[in-house]
């Protein structure tokens, strides 16, 4: 028990020392109709990378003011009919304060072979949306935008 507490304390100290806050829900799973499952992973963003690259880490969605992100969406995998499809999550930061909610996602079955997944993300300051098309187990991110009109259109179809 003491070893477990010591390891937990060391991990927390390491996370805080690198400028990231510990996450309440770093991984999770949501189940939708038709047996569709969505797994996610949120991870602390390595601020050393931001410093080494002088802030040049590509498009940064979810962060206002040009500062370094504290978290990033590391993984998003949709499973349908036992077929796992990893989705593109590059440039997606600060996906949700404290953890993701199922209500952030909307699944739409298009036909027997295809579906779309829409997600809304925000740290309460920088909101953005992403949309993926999944056909025959292959996923393509078709939208990644923080444009207010696009965010509004996808939130209220």
Counting the structural domains of the chain, the total is: 1
Domain for residue 77, yes or no? Answer: yes
Give the pLDDT confidence of 37-94 residue by residue, as tens digits: 999 999 998 888 888 888 788 888 888 767 788 899 999 999 999 999 999 999 999 9
Domain for residue 117, yes or no? Answer: yes
128 or 61, greater pLDDT: 128
Domain for residue 139, yes or no? Answer: yes
36 or 69, greater pLDDT: 36
pLDDT for position 83: 94
Range of the domain at 104: 24-155
Band of residue 146 on the pLDDT scale cut at 50, 70, 90: very high
Domain for residue 3, yes or no? Answer: no
Domain for residue 36, yes or no? Answer: yes
Domain for residue 4, yes or no? Answer: no
pLDDT for position 26: 86
User: Quick check: 24 pLDDT over 70?
Assistant: no
Structure tokens at 131: 């949309």
pLDDT for position 78: 98
Domain for residue 129, yes or no? Answer: yes
Domain for residue 2, yes or no? Answer: no
**HEC states along 76-132?**
EEEEECCEEEECCCCCEECCCCCCCCHHHEEEEECCCCEEEEEEEECCCCCCEEEEE
CA 100 and chain centroid, separation: 8
């Amino acid at each position: 028990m003491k070893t477990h507490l010591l390891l937990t304390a060391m991990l927390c100290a390491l996370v805080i020392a690198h400028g990231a806050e510990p996450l309440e829900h770093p991984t999770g799973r949501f189940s939708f109709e038709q047996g569709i499952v969505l797994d996610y992973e949120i991870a602390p963003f390595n601020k050393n990378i931001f410093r080494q690259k002088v802030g040049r880490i590509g498009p940064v969605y979810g962060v206002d003011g040009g500062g370094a992100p504290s978290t990033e969406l590391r993984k998003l995998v949709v499973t349908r009919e036992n077929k796992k499809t990893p989705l593109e999550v590059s440039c997606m930061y600060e996906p949700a304060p404290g953890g993701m909610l199922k209500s952030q996602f909307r699944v739409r079955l298009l036909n027997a072979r295809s579906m779309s997944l829409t997600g809304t993300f925000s740290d309460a300051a920088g909101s953005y949306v992403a949309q993926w098309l999944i056909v025959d187990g292959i996923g393509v991110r078709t939208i990644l935008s923080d444009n207010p009109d696009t965010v509004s259109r996808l939130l209220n179809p």
